[in-house]
Structure 1
Amino acid sequence: MKRVIVDYKKLNKDILALLVEKYPDGYNDSDIVTFKNGHNDVIEAVEVKTEDTVYLVKISKRLADTMANYDLEE
């Protein structure tokens, strides 16, 4: 299974739909995965899975806002 790190700016509607489905009331501190990237920067992300890919979506204020407003956009 491949792992893909996704920034908010590159978030597509399919991944956003997976996030909203998995975290309908938003994510909690216990849902956050923390790791270091190749530049030794600490990254915080939430995880969603498809059949063949694990997406680690970087956390930001804009991500939370977009998830909260997702139903309004449809």
Structure 2
Amino acid sequence: MKRVIKDYKSIGLELFQLLIKSFPHGIYEDDLIQFTKPTGEKINALELKTEDVIYLIKMDLEMHNRIDSFTGDFEGLDPYSDGYRDNF
């Protein structure tokens, strides 16, 4: 199985939707994997598996908040589309 490390800023809509679906109640500290780069920088990442690839999505507070905004109960937002629902 292929392994890929991606920054959350470059995951695209399809992986973002899979992330929301895989963690419908949000991401907790126990869900994160921490590793150290050769430079000594510590990275927090979330493992996301597809049929062909295991992704490590590098996370930070901004992405954590972004995911939480989609997994909460927000009227009019649909995390499985690319925008707002038409409520008219």
Band the TM-score falls in, shorter-chain normalisation: 0.7 to 0.9
CA displacement at 1:40 relative to structure 2:
3.7
Question: Normalised by the size of structure 2, how large is the TM-score?
Answer: 0.71
My pick for the range that moved more, 3-12 or 30-39, is 30-39
Equivalent residue letter for 1:44: N
Greater helix share, structure number: 1
Question: Normalised by the size of structure 1, how large is the TM-score?
Answer: 0.82
Q: Which runs of 4+ in 1 moved over 3 A?
A: none
How far, CA to CA, are the matches of 1:65 and 1:29 in structure 2?
13
RMSD: 1.8
Q: Identity over aligned residues, as a percent? A: 34
Give the equivalent residue in structure 1 for 2:23.
Answer: 23
How far, CA to CA, are the matches of 1:63 and 1:38 in structure 2?
24
Give the equivalent residue in structure 1 for 2:74.
Answer: none
CA displacement at 1:38 relative to structure 2:
4.0
- Secondary structure at the aligned position of 2:24 is classed as coil
Q: How does 1:27-38 map to 2 (within 5 A)?
A: 27-38=27-38
| Higher normalized contact order (CA 8 Å, seq sep 6+, divided by chain length) | 1
Give the equivalent residue in structure 1 for 2:57.
Answer: 57
When Rg is computed on C-alpha atoms for both structures, the one with the higher figure is 2
